[in-house]
Amino acid sequence: MKNYFAFIDESGNSTQERFFGLGLLLIDDEVGDFYDAIKPFYGKAYELARKNKLARISELEKQDDFKQISEIAKSSKRFELKFTYVNSTNNTIYRALIDKCLSFPNVRFCALEPISKPYPNRS
């Protein structure tokens, strides 16, 4: 019997957004190699986000906006690789990560859009 590693995650909020998606990453036998291959991309994206956060804090200090600095310091939000965080400064990291993922022949990805609500009637 073959063993698999599966990772499932959602995108969107079915009660507040028009689209809600579900993705599945299925990896057989190569999970360790796969993890080792993608870990550097996480490190690069994390370091870039950390530098951007420090630059934002420095800018807020110049503006004497200590309330926002305090909110940043209190935040318990942890870093994640997320589509909503892709921007012009980090998109090359995310693209390279996707290319690396697709280079593994035994790694499969499937995405579903189980809910799609029409826009409300505005007439």
Q: What is the pLDDT of residues 99-115, one digit of tens each?
A: 998 899 888 888 877 65
Quickly count: other Cβ atoms within 10 Å of residue 41's Cβ. Answer: 19
- Residue 122 forms part of a structural domain: no
In a domain, 105, yes or no: yes
38, part of any domain:
yes
Length of the chain: 123
**48 lies in a domain?**
yes
Over the stretch 86-99, which tens digit does the pLDDT of each residue have? 899 999 999 999 99
pLDDT band for position 30 (cuts 50, 70, 90)? confident
20 has pLDDT over 80: no
The dihedral region occupied by 78, where left means phi > 0, alpha psi between -120 and 50, and beta the remainder, is beta
Assess whether pLDDT exceeds 70 at residue 29: yes
> Which structural domain range is residue 52 located in?
4-116
Count the domains in the chain: 1
Tell whether 106 is covered by a domain: yes
| Assigned domain for 123 exists | no
Percent of the chain with pLDDT over 70: 87
The verdict on residue 30 lying in a domain is yes
- Read out DSSP for 49-61? HHHHHHHHHHHHH
In a domain? residue 121? no
